[in-house]
Structure 1
Amino acid sequence: MDSDHLNVPTINFEVSFPEVQAHYINVKMSLKKLNQPYVDLKMPVWSPGSYLIREYAKNVERFKPVDTDGNPVPFSKISKNTWRVTTNTLDQIDVHYSVYGFEVSVRTNFFDSDHAFIVPTATFLYLEGSLHIPSTIAIVPKENWKSISTGLERLTQHTFHAPNFDVLYDSPIEVGNQDIWKFQAAGVEHECAMVGGGCYDKERLTKDITRIVEEETRIWGSNPNKRYVIITHNYQSGGGGLEHLNSTVLGASRNAYRNEHSYKTYLSLVAHEYFHLWNVKRLRPKALGPFDYDAENYTTGLWIMEGFTSYYDNLIIKRCGFYDEKEYLSLLANDFNIVLNRPGHEIQSAAASSFDTWIKYYRPDENAINSAISYYNKGAMLTALLDIKVIAATEGKVKLDDIIRAAYEEFFLKLDRGFEEKEFQSLAEHIAGTSLDDIFQAAHQDGELDYNAYFNLVGYEIVDINKDNDSLTLGITTNKVEGIISVATVEKGTGAYDAGLNVRDELIAINNVRLDPKDKEIDFIIQHATEGEILNFLIARDGLVREIPVEIRPNNKKIHEIRPLKDQTFLQELLGKIWMA
């Protein structure tokens, strides 16, 4: 029933762009049927899918509530993101405010004279206690802006409807002159909106994205949408993506489409975000919806949400024929490289990385390499082992595809709720007919499994092809800015770490020879050093000059390769083909 027929408030927004060249938009929020002495209007502090408190309220200015005659209505700010408006007997008010946006990303507002990218969580206030009510959003574009792209239901050319604020907040809006084309895939209308130009081939993209959509729909059994929007912001250099209920926003380089490697990387990004249609947006831990937009929403389950998705993105690209087996296995091996070459993998588990994403993954500091890992990469590693174990345990009759499809049907389609991790594990074990506790426990513990015990099941092995290298290292990375060489990171367990070199130390000389920022002298010195040799660094720290002796040690960097076993049994060969199919 329409909210006009109920005794609940109605909310309508209008967005206009009189100062967009200065990175401001104007918002009018019209509220009716208030019937209360005051209303609290709140701005979310974060965006689902991007787990960081972003304090969007900091960009709200010129907040002004008025009555139907345009008279000011009293208000006060009662928290960092809450405005209390004293309505008394007023049944209807309009709230005017401006929003500043000039940060290039898939999760933040960006407004300029060319276009406006509107992130609803950073733009639209909500009435506290009323996230469930519908709203309309009217866009008043600049005269020369011809297009609006969004997953919201379109009522008129410039007006859209959201059945509740969860849907509104999950529906980014692009306004400008983006290049738009539409196509059908898996029975769903898809709209591609390209912003910022680029050398893309529409026909090729349509064909390739269609293959991705159809493969992912096959995996999950059905597609939940009637319409899906892909908004791509093409920059001089860019990347990243953010999933939404029936849309996604991607970042790419304008020239990414010229090069086969970067083009496949873009397709993998499409596959990743599209996979989130099911995994995250619908199949999800309980903490990931309904949301609390006022604070962190904690879960240990992001290793499943992002880890599973990170495993599948490149696998889907392989299944679609864009990667061959060697390319795919190289990408999977790189997940192992990224994790196992960080000392942090001995400190933080995948589940802990998930829970602490708000303060670690999204807020990395100079010590992150030593103290943290990514639940994306570690999750992908564990997911690969899970898929392999299920295939081996069922002699190829069941794959991870079958488990996630069953979980989607059980928790979303049947129960319409999030899951507890133990529930997910129990369902997976029921379908696989075996315990999967080793992998689920590994997600909650630091340290490593015997990876070859899994890969060998399907006739493959993972080997460190750099194990016998004789290269050496100091254990630092450096920055070069304005003629100054400074330490960027110091890796635990290395000579630099034990000697006490610090991040931000300025490196002046080694063994009394001044360093030239234009050259790669440090690399040259290491290449010609011997194990155990001591290098005397002359450094400046906080304006004080000192010498620090640093021991050169073996470079234990791992370079993994996943490859078929030379002598596979018949069963290993069969299961390996099923894994790679």
Structure 2
Amino acid sequence: MTKNISITYHLSLIFIISITAIFAQAANANVLVNININQSEHHMAKVAITLPETEQSSVELKLPTWRTGRYDILNLSNGIRNFSAQDSKGNSLSWVKLDKDTWQITNIKNKKMTVSYQVYANELGMRTRHIDDSHAFLDNSTVVMYSDETRVLQHTINLEVPSSWRSVSGLAKGVHTNQFIAKNYDVLVDSPIETGINKFETFSVDGRVYELVIWGEGNYDVEKMVSDLKVMVQQSKHIWQGYPFSRYVFMVHATSGARGATEHLNSTIIQRSRFKFSDRKDYLGFILTAAHEFVHTWNVKQYRPKGLVPYNYQSENYSNLIWLAEGSTSYLQSQLLMRGELITAKEFLEKLANRINAHQHKPGKDNQTIAQASFDTWQSQGGDYGNNHSVNIYSEGFMVSWLLDFDILTRTKLKRSYRDVHNELYQQFSVPKSYDEQDVIDILAQVTKKDYHHWWQSNVHGHLNIDFNKLLAKAGLVLSYGKGNDKNSSEQEKAKLLPWTGIKVKKASHGLKVTAVEKGSPAWQAGITLDDIIIAVDGLRLVSKDLQSRLKDFKVEQEVEFSLFRRDQLITKSITLGAIAKEKLRIIPLAKASRKQKAFFKAWTGLDFPSK
């Protein structure tokens, strides 16, 4: 017995010594990052990065050109100034800037070195970096440089911030409240830091810790937010088997300007107007956004299409499947809320009707496929050109996801759904793996026992042509204008009509400035174009900023003269007015929906069929 104890002791000692040596070696290979928020009122920080010794004679440090979650080249290095490099003795090292994002340091062999630079952080709306006298939000891809060699190393982040500030991140916590640990650079740049004067709540669900940190004052109800988030996070079980995290952070900015949200590895940043929380419609916007970003914790952060694995931070990452990463997330977000009964069937159908209406007025759907839009998202066009000649990976991706879901439900007699496809992607293709189009088609075949090659070619590489009433009828629903009723087979024809031009405008100093013209609309046919300034209709000066109120004086198919300035010259254009429904498009339940239709609705949404 004593001999066995002795052997065990010596083996344990050898193990401890070995582990200690490994840790010592790892510690020497750490990247140490110090971020000093030294001029917060001027949006400034000073960054110092200490790199381990290297056998190389030079190193190239880079700042990414884009950040994860936004497929757009952002030129993040524009806020970097006062770059310098020193060895461990404080001697200056030679360096040269190779391009806008790359700094090369030479004569570094067998030297431990520290690089320092200033960061200007005043881009709140981009969700990149923002510092003021109340907080700092740091997406680390916009603050911390890396090299190909240091990308794989552990990074220790030390913040120097006012003592009254609280620091929160999805990163592992260090030995003090302002220290965080990332096992490598990829984890670091996908784990933003919020530090400052904020509200903080924590709660546990199913053995996992969740944190809610809110910067800014507003009309939000923290207690309700926590209560609903508790319910929402539990609904992931209806899509995925398993969790990729043990702790998750919801970061919220209640602001006066910035809007939007971005998903990260085990956290999200959500930005909303400080007074867009209390009304039910506004609150739904918040909780839907939270659900969207939470879905991303699996879809994008755990399984990503080829082309995005591993991330290339210095260039575009092309893929035909970014619609599945984003559009499917837009589709699945409501699944979480419906199955947690955080949104009613009526509210969900109202939002779905809005999507259908937007799709019907999207001429770009005939010009660009969703696969093309995914590949071109790095150069996507917004505004008038985007609407008329392109599709959006979010909205069009939602439609393709919806079609897939209904097709799977139909083929499997409600036994399987699109949710099963996403679970299989999670189980089979989590990073460092990645999936391509054939992989998705194979999973569809596994789930349904059917071949999806033709469907995929028609709907992903082809242009969508959706019969919405036929689609909705599967779930006992129909499109309607106004109050409507399920006896209307041609709702557009029976709806009350208003004159329509296809123009969107905003108030200008003299008249109304055209901000968009829908392709094929009466205004498009008449030659009205972007930036025209409409000053009169039918010879009378426009006195209202609402063009539609003026058009109520005319009838559908009536020819009306528009006076406008173009390049400061007065011209006239005649528009033959078209028609648009007076009432809002709605989705209503059939009064005599069958048991089969009601079952389909339940399998689709998780909710009982609406009574009206």
Fold agreement, TM-score > 0.5: yes
Q: Which amino acid aligns with 2:473?
A: N
Q: Which amino acid aligns with 1:388?
A: F
Contact 2:292 2:329 in 1 (8 A): yes
**Superposed counterparts of 1:526-545, under 5 Å:** 526-545=551-570
Q: Which amino acid aligns with 1:533?
A: Q
**Superposed counterparts of 1:507-518, under 5 Å:** 507-516=534-543
Contact 2:412 2:448 in 1 (8 A): yes
Q: Which moved more, 1:92-101 or 1:195-204?
A: 195-204
Distance 1:7 1:313 in 2: 41
Question: Residues 89 and 283 (structure 1 numbering): CA distance in 2 closer, same or farther, change over 3 Å?
Answer: closer
Question: Residues 122 and 69 (structure 1 numbering): CA distance in 2 closer, same or farther, change over 3 Å?
Answer: same
Question: Residues 546 and 368 (structure 1 numbering): CA distance in 2 closer, same or farther, change over 3 Å?
Answer: same
SS in 2 for 1:66: strand
For 2:501, the equivalent position in structure 1 comes to 474
Contact 1:10 1:33 in 2 (8 A): no
Question: Residues 152 and 32 (structure 1 numbering): CA distance in 2 closer, same or farther, change over 3 Å?
Answer: same
Distance 1:11 1:521 in 2: 58
For 2:260, the equivalent position in structure 1 comes to 240
For 2:549, the equivalent position in structure 1 comes to 524
Distance 1:71 1:545 in 2: 68
SS in 1 for 2:212: strand
Q: Which amino acid aligns with 1:460?
A: L
Q: What root-mean-square deviation, in Å, do the aligned CA atoms of Structure 1 and Structure 2 show?
A: 2.4
Contact 1:385 1:455 in 2 (8 A): no
State the shift of 1:243 in Å: 0.6
For 2:518, the equivalent position in structure 1 comes to 491
Q: Figure out how many residues of one structure are paired with residues of the other and give that number.
A: 574
**Equivalent in 560, 578, 581 of residue 603 of structure 2:** 578
Question: Residues 341 and 59 (structure 1 numbering): CA distance in 2 closer, same or farther, change over 3 Å?
Answer: same
Distance 1:437 1:449 in 2: 19
Q: Which amino acid aligns with 1:115?
A: H
**Equivalent in 294, 317, 320 of residue 340 of structure 2:** 320
For 2:580, the equivalent position in structure 1 comes to 555
State the shift of 1:440 in Å: 2.7
1:444 aligns with 2:461: yes
State the shift of 1:6 in Å: 6.2
Question: Residues 256 and 548 (structure 1 numbering): CA distance in 2 closer, same or farther, change over 3 Å?
Answer: closer
Contact 1:459 1:564 in 2 (8 A): yes
Q: Which amino acid aligns with 2:444?
A: A
1:214 aligns with 2:248: no
State the shift of 1:570 in Å: 3.6
For 2:251, the equivalent position in structure 1 comes to 231
SS in 1 for 2:409: helix
SS in 2 for 1:286: coil
For 2:48, the equivalent position in structure 1 comes to 28
State the shift of 1:59 in Å: 1.1
For 1:151, the equivalent position in structure 2 comes to 170
Distance 1:453 1:371 in 2: 27
State the shift of 1:4 in Å: 5.2
Deviations 1:486-542 (A, max 9, x none): 1111111123222222211222323332223xx246323311213343333332222
Contact 2:507 2:545 in 1 (8 A): no
Distance 1:94 1:375 in 2: 42
For 1:420, the equivalent position in structure 2 comes to 436
Distance 1:556 1:287 in 2: 44
Q: Which amino acid aligns with 1:575?
A: F
State the shift of 1:473 in Å: 1.6
For 1:166, the equivalent position in structure 2 comes to 186
Q: Which amino acid aligns with 2:405?
A: D
SS in 1 for 2:72: coil
**Equivalent in 281, 285, 290 of residue 265 of structure 1:** 285
Distance 1:141 1:221 in 2: 40
1:434 aligns with 2:450: yes
**Equivalent in 413, 416, 419 of residue 401 of structure 1:** 419
Q: Which moved more, 1:160-169 or 1:317-326?
A: 317-326
Question: Residues 206 and 6 (structure 1 numbering): CA distance in 2 closer, same or farther, change over 3 Å?
Answer: closer
Question: Residues 500 and 230 (structure 1 numbering): CA distance in 2 closer, same or farther, change over 3 Å?
Answer: same
SS in 1 for 2:239: helix
Contact 2:135 2:197 in 1 (8 A): yes
Contact 2:93 2:107 in 1 (8 A): yes
State the shift of 1:264 in Å: 2.1
State the shift of 1:448 in Å: 0.9
Distance 2:164 2:593 in 1: 64
Deviations 1:319-346 (A, max 9, x none): 2112221221221222222222111111
State the shift of 1:567 in Å: 4.1
For 2:208, the equivalent position in structure 1 comes to 188
Distance 1:7 1:74 in 2: 26
Question: Residues 382 and 558 (structure 1 numbering): CA distance in 2 closer, same or farther, change over 3 Å?
Answer: farther
State the shift of 1:411 in Å: 1.7
State the shift of 1:409 in Å: 1.1
Contact 1:392 1:458 in 2 (8 A): no
Contact 2:31 2:156 in 1 (8 A): yes
Deviations 1:438-458 (A, max 9, x none): 553302212413344443334
**Equivalent in 371, 382, 392 of residue 374 of structure 1:** 392
**Superposed counterparts of 1:4-23, under 5 Å:** 5=25, 10-23=30-43
State the shift of 1:200 in Å: 2.9
Question: Residues 198 and 438 (structure 1 numbering): CA distance in 2 closer, same or farther, change over 3 Å?
Answer: farther
State the shift of 1:280 in Å: 0.9
For 1:68, the equivalent position in structure 2 comes to 88
State the shift of 1:35 in Å: 2.4
Q: Which moved more, 1:534-543 or 1:229-238?
A: 534-543
User: Could you list the runs of 5+ residues in structure 2 that have no partner in the other structure?
Assistant: 1-18, 482-490, 607-612
State the shift of 1:381 in Å: 1.8
State the shift of 1:84 in Å: 0.8
Distance 2:202 2:339 in 1: 24
State the shift of 1:426 in Å: 1.2
Question: Residues 329 and 140 (structure 1 numbering): CA distance in 2 closer, same or farther, change over 3 Å?
Answer: same
Distance 1:307 1:253 in 2: 24
Contact 1:272 1:312 in 2 (8 A): yes
Contact 2:244 2:302 in 1 (8 A): no
Question: Residues 128 and 521 (structure 1 numbering): CA distance in 2 closer, same or farther, change over 3 Å?
Answer: closer
Contact 2:204 2:210 in 1 (8 A): yes
**Equivalent in 162, 175, 186 of residue 142 of structure 1:** 162
Distance 2:552 2:511 in 1: 22
Distance 2:531 2:449 in 1: 54
For 1:119, the equivalent position in structure 2 comes to 139
Deviations 1:206-231 (A, max 9, x none): 22111111111343121121111111
